[in-house]
Amino acid sequence: MRIEQELEQAHIDRDSVLTIGVFDGVHRGHQSLIAKVIAQADARGAASGVLTFRNHPDSVLNPNFQPQYITSVEERIRLLEELGVDFVVPVTFDMNVAGLRASKFAKLLRSKLHMRGLVVGPDFAMGYRREGDVEALSLLGGKLGFSVSVVDLLSEGGDAVHSTSIRKAIVEGSVRNAAKKLGRNFSISGTVVAGAKMGRTLGFPTANVEVGPDMAVPGNGIYATMAFVDEERHMAATSIGTRPTFNGKGRTIEAFLLGFDKNLYNRQLRLEFVQRLRDELKFESVEGLLKQMELDVEQTRTLLQAER
């Protein structure tokens, strides 16, 4: 069974305290939950761990589900590790996992990851048809030798901090609002590919960033962003949209890196969204577009220098 193979890759040799979920975004709510996992593990002299599903369960269970992930699997694992947990176990959610009874799942976690404590939110459930809710898991833990701790969801202004509201803010272009709930600026990563080279013709050569179709992308508009090339950090004015002035077809993500003139083709670029500057507009002339682009670049420079 694939899940057993993935669990065995963790190589845990002592008792552990776990939490389980997709953890898309690794937002402030997730961070609060994981801090409690670490605290409980430390108090027990156990290892702290996170089991994260590589893909959202609905991508298997709901044929109409269209994922818009806030973080890629790789970034999610990196962020989880940065929170200080002892181990992260990425598991592929498939029909075998979906069909696991809660008792079988719990036994796997006990045998493969030495789980002695499970820390979850109030609405958590696992196993076939979500049969393993908090009450059922507490009873099961009494038989198998693990405790279940329930922590309240983190709220902000009366609203729970969760991935759905963050995803909505991103898609609407409210990157500042998303950043408050994430605890950091939202970012996307992708490969720089050849584009129409329209920006170069206009004197603003842009990196055309291609991201996965299942990733959340901010709404159309112009953004002040930080661009990361390997370890290098550059200010960038980023346009997301269809280039209406040129009757463009298809949605693109194009970043103009200020003061940068190296070849980026086929390289990985990460864009960190700091603030939305304006809507995407259709200009009556190229001259009008150029004038606005110059203003966008200056506004980006002023804003990002103030952020430093």
Give the domain CATH number at 191. 2.40.30.30
- Is the pLDDT at 33 greater than 90? The verdict is yes
Which of 39 and 155 is assigned the larger pLDDT? 39
**Domain contains 170:** no
Residues 141 and 207 in one domain: no
Q: Give 112-159 pLDDT, tens digit per residue.
A: 999 999 999 999 999 999 999 999 999 999 999 999 999 998 887 667
- At 283, list the tokens: 């200009």
Give the domain CATH number at 115. 3.40.50.620
Residues 65 and 196 in one domain: no
Residues 73 and 191 in one domain: no
**Domain contains 150:** yes
- Is the pLDDT at 202 greater than 70? The verdict is no
pLDDT of residue 81: 97
Q: Work out how many domains the chain is built from and give that number.
A: 2
Residues 219 and 151 in one domain: no
Residues 193 and 129 in one domain: no
Residues 108 and 197 in one domain: no
**Domain contains 125:** yes
Residues 71 and 123 in one domain: yes
Q: Which domain holds residue 286?
A: 185-307
pLDDT of residue 203: 65
**Domain contains 169:** no
Residues 10 and 148 in one domain: yes
**Domain contains 230:** yes
**Domain contains 12:** yes
Say what the alpha-carbon torsion angle 89, 95, 96, 99 is, to the nearest 10 degrees: 110
- The model carries a pTM of 0.92
**Domain contains 176:** no
Domain boundary among 121, 145, 160: 160
What CA–CA distance (Å, rounded) separates 185 from 183?
7
Task: Using alpha carbons, list the distances in angstroms from residue 139 to 50, 132, 218, 245.
Answer: 22, 10, 44, 63
Residues 128 and 194 in one domain: no
Domain boundary among 144, 160, 176: 160
Residue 64, amino acid: N
pLDDT of residue 197: 62
Nearest to 218 by CA among 158, 278, 171, 152: 171
pLDDT band at 230 (very low <50, low <70, confident <90, very high): confident
* Mean pLDDT across 181-204: 83
- Is the pLDDT at 199 greater than 90? The verdict is no
Domain boundary among 145, 160, 175: 160
Is 190 within 8 Å of 212 (Cβ atoms)?
yes
pLDDT of residue 1: 61
* Mean pLDDT (the chain, rounded): 93
pLDDT band at 306 (very low <50, low <70, confident <90, very high): confident
Residues 144 and 67 in one domain: yes
Is 161 within 8 Å of 29 (Cβ atoms)?
yes
pLDDT band at 196 (very low <50, low <70, confident <90, very high): low
